[in-house]
Amino acid sequence: MIKVEHKDNVAIITLDRANRRNALGSAMVEDLERRFAELDRETSIGAIVLTGTQPSFCAGSDLKELGTMNLAEMAEHEAITAAIARKITFLNTPVIAAVEGHAFGGGFILACSCDLIVTSAAARWNLAEVPNGWLPPWGLQALASRVGPVVAKRLTFGHELLSGADVFRLGLADYVIDEGKSLEEAIRIASLIANMPQPAVASTKQFFAPLVAGASEVLDASANRVFIDNCKHDRAKATLARFGAKA
């Protein structure tokens, strides 16, 4: 479910579950953490690009898998995913998201957790959690770090389906490119950074990490508790019931 390729001193991680729109199942999340850690230790790698097999970057949590869990198990799964996303900020190696297709829910936030975002203008971005009946259970600090709390709140309501061009204008994405070109552009940018002195690049990440991360661990824990409480209410129960979730 995860592919890793090397292009000179750039590593490319591809989420590879096209039949599930690269949804974040437990096995994929655990493998993603392992791949990040391995690549961060490789001195020959100066930057990492994170992308997804078409038709999506990532459609968020795997609701079919969540449908086999009770609420406590769902909370644990989302907490593990949250911790892995937070770790991206603390890697020494920059991570650049290359977004095509869909960046929904947890996929939206996973991209936000990367150091840089390259999106195609035609990509579709949305946080669907509130319409489903619950607060996103992690990553809202990463979103707010990019766009500020007021715009982060607007995006969290999830009432707008945004294009890559839209999220670039909002300051969420760092670069916008023609459809089908985001990976190529992300690799180009990654190569520029990878060829800089690695100690200086790592020091830049380390310096800004506490400013970007803020109170993310505390906020993720709080959001997870609210998520579980929200899932006990009627709208959320109806959503979860469609996937067979056990309340």
pLDDT range class, residue 247, cuts 50, 70, 90: very low
More confident residue, 68 or 31: 31
Between 81-85, 175-179, 217-221, 233-237, the lowest mean confidence (pLDDT) is in 233-237
Domain of 36? 2-180
Residue 245 within any structural domain of the chain = no
The CATH number of residue 54's host domain is 3.90.226.10
127 within some domain: yes
Q: What is the pLDDT of residue 62?
A: 82
Using the predicted structure, report yes or no on whether residue 197 has a pLDDT greater than 70: yes
CA proximity to 217, closest of 73, 79, 102, 59: 79
Q: How close are the terminal C-alpha atoms of the chain, in Å?
A: 29
Q: Residue 245's pLDDT is what?
A: 57
The β-bridge partners of 98 are: 118
For residue 243, what pLDDT is reported?
Answer: 73
Residue range 204-236, pLDDT digits in tens:
999 999 999 999 999 999 999 999 999 999 998
Which run of H or E residues covers position 232? none
For the chain, the C-alpha Rg in angstroms (whole number) is: 17
Phi, psi torsion values for 100, nearest 5 degrees: -125, 160
Residue 156 inside a domain? The answer is yes
In a domain, 116, yes or no: yes
Tell whether the model's pLDDT for residue 63 goes beyond 90. Answer: no
